[in-house]
A and B are shown apart, each in its own frame.
Chain A
Amino acid sequence: MKRRFSLAIASLGVGTMLLSACGNAATTTEGQPVSGGTLTLSFKDDLKTLDPAIGYDTDSWSISRAIYNGLLAYKGFTTQLEPDIAAAMPVISPDGKTYTFKLRKDVKFSNGRGVTADDFKYSWERMLDPKTAGPMTGGSFWGSVHGAQELFDGTATHISGIKVVDPYTLEIDLDNPNQSFLNILAMPFGFVIPKEAVAAAGEDYAHKPIGTGPFVLDKWTPGQLIVLKKNKNYFGTKPYLDEVDAQIGLTPEVGYLRMQNNQLDIPQPDLTIPSAQYISLSSNPNWKNRILRNPNVDIYFLAMNVNMKPFDNKLVRQAFNNVVNKANLVKILNGRAVINNGIQAPPMPSYVQNYNPLGLDASGQNLQKAKDLLKQAGYDASHPFPAQELVYPKANADSDRLAASVQQDFQQVGITVNLKGLAFNAFLDITGKPNTTALSYNGWIQDFPDPSDFIDPILTCAAANVTANGANIAFYCNKDADKLADQARGDTNSAERLKLYQQYQDIVVSKDFPWVPLYSTVETNVAAPRVHGYQLHPVWPLVLTSIWVTGSAPSLAPASPSASP
């Protein structure tokens, strides 16, 4: 599956839930870093955009992180926030609703102009403006900012909750306390862009980005090549690399072959290694120690639309929870996943070890129970269970294999499941509409490390109450569970907050069954031997600033006949 980013509101004190995972990830560090040189990357598809107000996929985030900055950023390879363009962490009012930021005075856009608080106000209002047509126009993350709703509705041209106190002081007012607001500010939607660059680029800012980050976009030949150069005006520690060349149009399969021939440094940096390549690299003594691993904060699950037959019957949903052999799925993923019977990802503090309230076996099944429940639900030999269509996003051949495994499991309880693999965009389209898709195979990866990101956008009534582009694929809505989520969102006591999220998980997993939770994955990536300091980040798909290279850069061959002129 491809990654699916989410929309969310609320958080824990991030410091309390620092993930040990990222510390364990191997790095390719060896020797003294050297400056200079070119790193080569590849992407299968051209980037959709480098406009941070619009980009909401791992491809765009890989590059936009290198071009822009926000007020806050994650410290190194941890999930702890630190000031970025902000001079210090903000002053938060006792009621948790007002955030006051002081900005650094030495930050310049790559066009040479200094960044002020007005630029943030402009960038955020543009990002939330329906005319920008970004994914944030629907509200979601920024919905708790006072006056944001008026801007969506078109009744205001500015957001009253964002105030420029002086050129280097910014005040943000929220309607309700939101524990994850600082994480939200660190997302690309909060990045600062210069007004004049947007005006100069007209409709095409997506291809002519100007930011404050360590790199600048030097060249973008659509469908072929993206070239980043070191930003001379960058206010932070300068990156080691002089240049980053991203070749477009290489499938990961071809990319990994080229990497092994020293023709490419990092293939498809934002996606895990496809299984065939993983098996061969991990059994090759030259490569197996170069593979980086990092537990993803993600969860994969089958969503059953609770408003559609036959899943409106709770017994059916419960039966389905006893059918899937999750161990087989983990095997198809070459062991790069762990079985998950809950709704929280393992690196989260809210994750419960060995969570198994349904008493499933080690494979995550209980076929006899499933058959009994189906009988209770009124299905037997004379009333066979209707054939179901399992809709899944087709990222690569592994997607088909996973779906085929699920298909076989259902056959064992006499249920015919037909498979329908769709391109990711088409998949998002039909699963996001109410009463359209009954059964689908979904993945959810964090936007930021907080348990709320695994509940608010994908399981609450508010998320179910949409007409399109929804992320609550099961259209699950339980008002009592919602109350727990609301309570947790504003709770400043970390321990208590965790307990609330665990109670929430119990309701979903052992009472209402909107999902069949499947597994959480481990991200794996690898770089060519000339690449050093490459490390996987718990939030960002790619961090370029720690990387240095030795030896000369491979010259990029044309991706394919169709991509060359």
Chain B
Amino acid sequence: MAGRRVSPWSPIWNRFREDRLAVAGAIFIILLAVIALLAPVLPIRDPNHGYYELLPANGSPLAPGSGFLLGSDPNGRDMLSRIIWGARISLFIGFVANGLALAVGVTVGALAGYLRGWFETILMRVTDIMMAFPILLFSIAIISIVERGSVLVIVAVIALFYWTAVARIVRGQVLSLKEREFVEAGRALGGGPQHNLLHHILPHLVPIIIVYGTIGIATSISTESILSYIGIGVQAPTADWGRMVADGQDFMFLAPWLVIFPGLMILLTVLAFNLIGDGLRDALDPRARALFRGVIGGVTAGGASMVSGQRPGLEPAGPDGLSGGLGKGVEEQAEPA
């Protein structure tokens, strides 16, 4: 075996890094994650401590600059600290909620797609029913029944809604994959459903999981911000971006920094994850089977299909984070196979 050994991921990486926006998004998220992780050791003020003594007698919040880099809120709390600590909440909820949604969605979708029959009918009808619920209304109902403001409850509620989109996409993929020769070969050689799913089908799902995982984080973060904004998410005094926007909105004209900074952080973070997702999708073009075979099989892939440039029908999440087109495009894309 002569020749330089090339990582199977390197063509993907090469392609990804050509997408400037995606790289910028990735850099932003990495920076944000590092700062958020280091928040307890960074030399910043306690995010929940109000420095009332520094406020003027009329209780007006301090403007950015004057001792507080991003200003203070009307409780005399440091906006910079709150934004950094708020990043922890947002990223935690984004990753964990979406991780849960992926785990459930992939499991349900793969089983339904592979096993078919009554099993599929039940699972997919449950999925349909879940998708028919108005998310906000249902979240409000759930959160008012169970403990309000617990981060884990919010994670569970978000995961509860977003696994359905993943399940549909994965099922569509599995439906087409299971008819492929290599899966049939696996069956012919005596591989059971478990073996085929884990060893032949699942690896082919990795790209789509990565892409949806990334875009799903954006959706989860914006959903969490909305829940906190309407007052049923993270509770006071915990710093949270959505909550900060809600708390500051009555001061919008007087102290615009109270809503601009946290609002901007929500925007940038959601945008960054969407850009990364976009970039990954292009890099991992799910239609380019040759590429996948190459990646999964450990062989350097030929590049022809990679530069096809045709964008699959995936859409990023909608701007409100709730009406995202996650399901639609992929469903279409999965059927032709």
What residues of chain A have their CB less than 8 Å away from a CB belonging to chain B?
A: 253, 257, 274-280, 282-283, 325, 327-328, 331-335, 396-397, 400-401, 403-405, 407-408, 418-419, 421
Contact = CB atoms under 8 A, between A and B. Distances in A.
A401 B75 contact: yes
Contacts, number: 72
27 contacts: A253-B250, A275-B59, A276-B74, A276-B250, A276-B252, A279-B59, A280-B253, A325-B52, A331-B52, A331-B55, A331-B57, A332-B59, A335-B57, A335-B58, A400-B236, A401-B74, A401-B75, A401-B247, A404-B50, A405-B50, A407-B236, A408-B48, A408-B49, A408-B50, A418-B235, A419-B235, A419-B237
Contact of B247 (A274, A332, A397): A397
Contact of B236 (A278, A280, A327, A404): A404
A315 B59 CA distance: 33
A328 B50 contact: yes
B254 interface: yes
Contacts of A332: 52, 59, 74-75
Contacts of B253: 257, 276, 280
A553 to B, nearest CB: 25
A397 B250 contact: yes
Contacts of A403: 236
B254 A276 contact: yes
Interface size class of B (residues with CB under 8 A): 20 to 34
B60 interface: yes
Contacts of B60: 279, 334
Given A400-B247, A401-B75, A405-B52, A282 B235 contact: no
Contact of B237 (A328, A335, A408): A408
Contacts of B250: 253, 274-277, 396-397
Nearest to A253: B250
B229 interface: no
A421 B148 CA distance: 11
Interface string B42-76: 00000011101001011110000000000000110
Contacts of B48: 408
Contact of A407 (B52, B58, B237, B254): B237
B114 to A, nearest CB: 47
A64 to B, nearest CB: 29
Contacts of B252: 276
A280 B253 CA distance: 9
A253 B254 CA distance: 12
Given A253-B250, A404-B237, A279 B75 contact: no
B197 to A, nearest CB: 45
Given A276-B254, A397-B250, A405-B75, A335 B236 contact: no
A280 B58 CA distance: 10
A280 B74 CA distance: 13
B251 interface: yes
A279 B254 contact: yes
Contacts of B251: 276
Interface in B216-266: 231, 235-237, 246-247, 249-255
B293 to A, nearest CB: 54
A404 B244 CA distance: 13
B52 A328 contact: yes
